[in-house]
Amino acid sequence: MSFLKAFQYKRRNSLIHRLDPRSKFLLSLVLMTFSIVFIDIRVLIAILTLQLFLIGLARALKEWVYSLRGLIFFIIIIFITQLLFGGTLFMGIVLSIRLIVLSSSMSWFFLSSTPEDIGRAMSSARFPIELTFSFVMAIRFIPVIYNEFQSIYDAQRSRGLELEKGGFRTKVRNLMPILIPLLVGTIRRTYEIADAMEVRAFGASPKRTSYKLLKFKKGDYFLCLVSAILASAIIYLKIFLGLE
Amino acid sequence: MVEITVENLFFKYPDAEKYALKNINFTIKEGESIAILGENGAGKTTLAKNLNGLLKPTKGSVKIDGVDTRNLSVAKIARKIGFVCHNPDHQFFAETVEEEIKFGLKNFGFTENEIEKSLLDVLKTFGLEEYRHKSPFQLSGGEKKRLAIASIIVWRPELLILDEPTIGMDYAQRLNIQNVLKNLVSEGKSIIVITHDVDFAVSLCRRAIVLSGGEIVGDGCLRKLLSNPEVIEKASLRKPFLIELEEEIGFSVIDEDFDSISESLIRVFDKCHS
Amino acid sequence: MNAVDFRNVSFRYAGSEKEALANINLKIEEGESVLITGPSGCGKSTIAKIIMGLIPHSYTGEFSGEAYVFGMNILENPVSNIATKCGIVFQNPENQLFTFSVEDDVAFGPENLALPPEEIRKRVDESLKLVGIEHLRYSSPNNLSGGEQQKAAIASILSMYPSLIVFDEPTSMLDPSSSINLIQSIFRLKEELEKKGGRLTLIIIEHRIGLLLDHVSRIIVISDGRIVLDGEPLSVLYESFKKKIPINIPPILQIYFRIKDRCGLEKPPKNLKELFSYLREASSEKHG
Ligand SMILES: Nc1ncnc2c1ncn2[C@@H]1O[C@H](COP(=O)(O)OP(=O)(O)OP(=O)(O)O)[C@@H](O)[C@H]1O
Ligand SMILES: Nc1ncnc2c1ncn2[C@@H]1O[C@H](COP(=O)(O)OP(=O)(O)OP(=O)(O)O)[C@@H](O)[C@H]1O
Ligand SMILES: [Mg+2]
Ligand SMILES: [Mg+2]
């Protein structure tokens, strides 16, 4: 579960946190494109380095390491499929790095932007309100699930559920009294939150205002410039150099 | 029997800038009844979670019967130290009230017979018989609170920690829980009650640990601490009714029993004139 | 106008055999301040949920009768419409906060009312100040203590300037001085509004009657889904005392009710000092 932490907003006083979510999103998108378009290991490593730099600036390296733990499962799958379908070990490594780059480009963005700000950015870009809100709700749910997990986990341990000891199989079996209530609890929380939003007049007026106005600052223009340069790099590398 | 020793305990939440607990030292022996008091955000809940191992000290140590909580699993501790958290919703997961109560007993390996007997016992004690087959989530606020307490008390831990047990309880329920807890103490078990309800605390607990801003500002006889204006001011407390009454009439009142209090008042005032 | 008007309202939650509320007739006028109390499980929160329209819109069950809030029929109006005039603070504060900062939660309601940003900022500042959590403005609600969460939940309703607020046990997790401060601030707010010609209706569900006795003009006692007493606070409490309804009658009144006839006390004392001086007076009259 701690893997979710890598995608959950954390309030920090950092350069990155202060940036406008729109500029951050743009850069995120460009970085993601790299991981989708290229499988050249040099490119991927270069992008990963840039990402680590950004995550470091956002003071979130610890959370990023958490996210790696969650990815291990998928990386194992990558290696298994590579071996089964006659790929090479090298290819497995490349694909794994690619996955890490993909996940990092999202993690960097979500770690440093509140769902409220993302919602504000989407409305200012004139996305339909339904879409904006479904999206914001979806991100809001990451911490909801995480907290639900934490409290159920604590409550069950406090009632004698042994989770810290035992072999792998006992551990998995003992996880059931946590996973089932987690599912049920998350659904229940969904309704509770929907009620809590409605009693605060959500949906009463077709228009919503925002008390914080998003404003582009110097840093944001700089980020856009970086994004533009990187985007041209994609085109240059792909089309003119024909990199894989 | 269980003994807890807290030594130079400091605790900081991972995302926080400040320590939630600072330099906490005390010991708890068997058969004690302790109230943890203090203003909102004083660190009471945080301290309770450090005592049952849900949180581990950032610095210093918490030892249970001489063993550091860092070396014990929460489940192991739970057999001896039961913890009822303030939000009952956090611990419910079963389909019925009955299953909810049985969960702990099963984990601790009680036999079928014992389980059935204990179940019926607590259902009765907490007035939950009619809800036995209902979902815990479909109870009212006060009913949930009672179920939460019932589902821990059922395995009779040596020490029971209750976070705000009287929330949402009416007069009769509050009295009932007070009696249940008193009985536990008279059987030699220990209780720790975290509460803002000073009237409840005074008729139940002998000792108080008063927290303010993450530090202990008072540890000792509850009645003495709650008569001390300085402590009351510091931890946003209130003088309990019983103590006010004692100070006015000049003799001690043990229990919040209004019939006998009223009678003695009448006697006192009659005596003045006869 | 009536702020709340229930006509023969009954409700049974899906899956229960018993009705949670049976034949409730209840009128609360605009500007009133009412305390609702009663034993645990008697149906208080159910009334609150009906006032907001959450029952029957979000809860399944059998609803009958008619309920109006400021003339709006709750059956015909979505909850969000009712919410433009009424606010509710639920019993469990933790379940009603859902953003990543206290500030965002408090601004959420006013944003939905499409108010101008400066106005929202003003209200956020004001509400945080009123409940005394300005210092937690940027904290995440998940990282707050129980009492701090309760304060945040209250602020997030106050910022909407509702004409009617339903508080479901608003002080259950607050320390003694915060409880008193909160109740005083709310009633001061009401007074200030009335000075300016506005109206605020308050419905407070509480077990701790003593906290509100000096402030409310009416107490309603519910028992087993029915209104059993309704009227002027002191006489309602005396009736509950005589009928042994298990509500938290303040200690001073517990004593007063027991001895008032025997000692010939006429006025209820506000505190122990007063009780003792009344007793002294009464006994010297009797004997002297
Ligand atoms: N998960 C958390 N992360 C960061 N800070 C926290 C967290 N939980 C609590 N805190 C902070 O730690 C301090 C102590 O919290 P705690 O819950 O122990 O208070 P409390 O004494 O139980 O208060 P209350 O009476 O309101 O329940 C508070 O200032 C609170 O804001
Ligand atoms: N979601 C639900 N589904 C089924 N039954 C419910 C549900 N919520 C409450 N009830 C039942 O309806 C009755 C009234 O509940 P309600 O929550 O209104 O009580 P309350 O007066 O607020 O009590 P408390 O003081 O304990 O909060 C209770 O007996 C309860 O068990
Ligand atoms: Mg607490
Ligand atoms: Mg209720």
**CATH no. for residue B105?**
3.40.50.300
**CB–CB of C111 and A189 under 8 A?**
no
Q: CA–CA separation, B93 vs C183, rounded Å?
A: 35
B253 has a chain C CB within 8 A of its CB: no
Q: How confident is the model at residue A18 (pLDDT cuts 50, 70, 90)?
A: confident
Q: Are residues B152 and B260 in the same domain?
A: no
Please determine, for residue B274, whether its predicted confidence score (pLDDT) is greater than 60.
no
Per-residue model confidence as pLDDT tens digits over B242-258:
898 888 887 777 777 88
Pairing of strands B33-38, B190-194: parallel
Task: Give the per-residue pLDDT at C92.
Answer: 87
Nearest CA to ligand 1 atom 25: B40
Task: Give the per-residue pLDDT at C118.
Answer: 93
Which of C220, C222, C245 is CA-nearest to residue C233?
C220
Residue B43 Cα to ligand 1 middle (Å): 6
The SS3 call for residue C7 is strand
Please determine, for residue A142, whether its predicted confidence score (pLDDT) is greater than 90.
no
Task: Give the per-residue pLDDT at C233.
Answer: 96
Determine the residue of C19, C42, C221, C222 to mutate for testing ligand 2's pocket, defined as the one with the most ligand atoms within 8 A of the Cβ atom.
C42
Residue C201 Cα to ligand 4 middle (Å): 20
CATH code of residue C214: 3.40.50.300
User: What does the buried/exposed string (b/e) look like for C118-143 if buried means 16 or more CB atoms within 10 Å of the residue's CB?
Assistant: eebbebbeebbebbbbeebbebbbbe
Q: Are residues B144 and B245 in the same domain?
A: no
Q: Are residues B233 and B251 in the same domain?
A: no
Residue C38 Cα to ligand 4 middle (Å): 10
Q: Are residues C71 and C193 in the same domain?
A: yes
Q: Are residues C180 and C140 in the same domain?
A: yes
Q: CA–CA separation, C35 vs C58, rounded Å?
A: 25
Q: Are residues B101 and B192 in the same domain?
A: yes
CB atoms within 10 A of CB B4: 22
Q: Which two tokens stand for residue C282?
A: 């009464």
**CB–CB of B103 and A159 under 8 A?**
yes
Q: CA–CA separation, B36 vs B52, rounded Å?
A: 15
Which of A76, A67, A149, A152 is CA-nearest to residue A104?
A67
Three-state secondary structure of B45-89 = HHHHHHHCCCCCCCEEEEEECCEEHHHCCHHHHHHHEEEECCCHH
**Closest approach atom of ligand 1 to CA B164:** 27
Q: How confident is the model at residue A2 (pLDDT cuts 50, 70, 90)?
A: low
| Number of structural domains in chain C | 2
Q: Are residues C211 and C194 in the same domain?
A: yes
Q: Tell me the pTM.
A: 0.89
Chain A closest-CA separation from residue C79 CA (Å)? 6
Which of C244, C259, C277 finishes a domain? C244
Q: Are residues C121 and C190 in the same domain?
A: yes
Q: Which domain holds residue C266?
A: 250-288
Which chains lie within 8 Å of chain B at 3 or more CB pairs, if any?
Answer: A, C
Which chains lie within 8 Å of chain A at 3 or more CB pairs, if any?
Answer: B, C
Sheet of B67-68, strands arranged across: B21-28, B4-11, B59-64, B67-68
Q: Are residues B8 and B108 in the same domain?
A: yes
Task: Give the per-residue pLDDT at C132.
Answer: 94
Pairing of strands C21-29, C201-205: unpaired
**CB–CB of A160 and B108 under 8 A?**
yes
Q: How many CA atoms lie within 13 A of A144 on its CB side?
A: 25
For the Cβ of B42 lying below 6 angstroms from any atom of ligand 1, the answer is yes
H or E, element range at B120? helix B112-125
Residue recorded with tokens 């003994």: B3
CA pseudo-torsion sign C40, C41, C47, C48: positive
Q: Are residues B162 and B269 in the same domain?
A: no
Task: From chain C, pick out residues whose CB is under 8 angstroms from the CB of A212.
Answer: 107, 117
For the Cβ of B43 lying below 6 angstroms from any atom of ligand 1, the answer is yes
CB atoms within 10 A of CB B203: 18
**CB–CB of B40 and C251 under 8 A?**
no
Q: CA–CA separation, A198 vs C163, rounded Å?
A: 17
Q: Are residues B10 and B145 in the same domain?
A: yes
Burial of A232 (0-12, 13-18, 19+ CB in 10 A): exposed
Q: Are residues C161 and C47 in the same domain?
A: yes
Contact C29, C211 (CB under 8 A): no
Task: Give the per-residue pLDDT at A241.
Answer: 77
Q: Are residues B24 and B67 in the same domain?
A: yes
Chain C closest-CA separation from residue A18 CA (Å)? 14
Residue recorded with tokens 């609600």: C141
Q: Which ligand lies nearest the alpha carbon of B209?
A: 1
Length reported for chain A:
244
| Number of structural domains in chain B | 2
Chain A residues with CB within 8 Å of chain B CB: 10-11, 151-152, 154-165, 177, 180-181, 184-185, 188
Residue B217 Cα to ligand 3 middle (Å): 17
Sheet of C61-69, strands arranged across: C21-29, C2-13, C61-69, C72-73
Is pLDDT larger for residue B118 or for residue A95? B118
Best to test chain A binding among C45, C49, C100 (most A CBs inside 10 Å)? C100
Residue C207 Cα to ligand 4 middle (Å): 10
Q: Are residues B81 and B215 in the same domain?
A: yes
Q: Are residues C133 and C170 in the same domain?
A: yes
Q: How confident is the model at residue B111 (pLDDT cuts 50, 70, 90)?
A: very high
Residue ranges lining ligand 2, Cβ < 6 Å: B 138-143, 168; C 13, 15-16, 20, 40-46, 91
Residue recorded with tokens 């078990």: B189
Residue C39 Cα to ligand 2 middle (Å): 11
Q: What is the pLDDT along chain C (288 residues), one digit of tens a residue?
A: 899 999 999 999 998 889 999 999 999 999 999 999 999 899 999 999 999 999 999 999 999 999 999 999 999 999 999 999 999 999 888 889 988 889 999 999 999 999 999 999 999 999 999 999 999 999 989 889 999 999 999 999 999 999 999 999 999 999 999 999 999 999 999 999 999 999 999 999 999 999 999 999 999 999 999 999 999 999 999 999 999 998 999 999 999 999 888 887 888 888 888 888 888 887 777 665
Q: Which domain holds residue B274?
A: 240-274
Q: Which ligand lies nearest the alpha carbon of A11?
A: 1
Q: Are residues B140 and B251 in the same domain?
A: no
Task: Give the per-residue pLDDT at A212.
Answer: 82
Determine the residue of C94, C136, C145 to mutate for testing ligand 1's pocket, defined as the one with the most ligand atoms within 8 A of the Cβ atom.
C145
Q: Are residues C171 and C279 in the same domain?
A: no
Q: Are residues C161 and C286 in the same domain?
A: no
Nearest CA in chain A to C160: A200
Alpha helices, DSSP H only, in chain A? 21-37, 41-57, 61-84, 89-112, 115-124, 129-157, 168-174, 176-198, 218-235
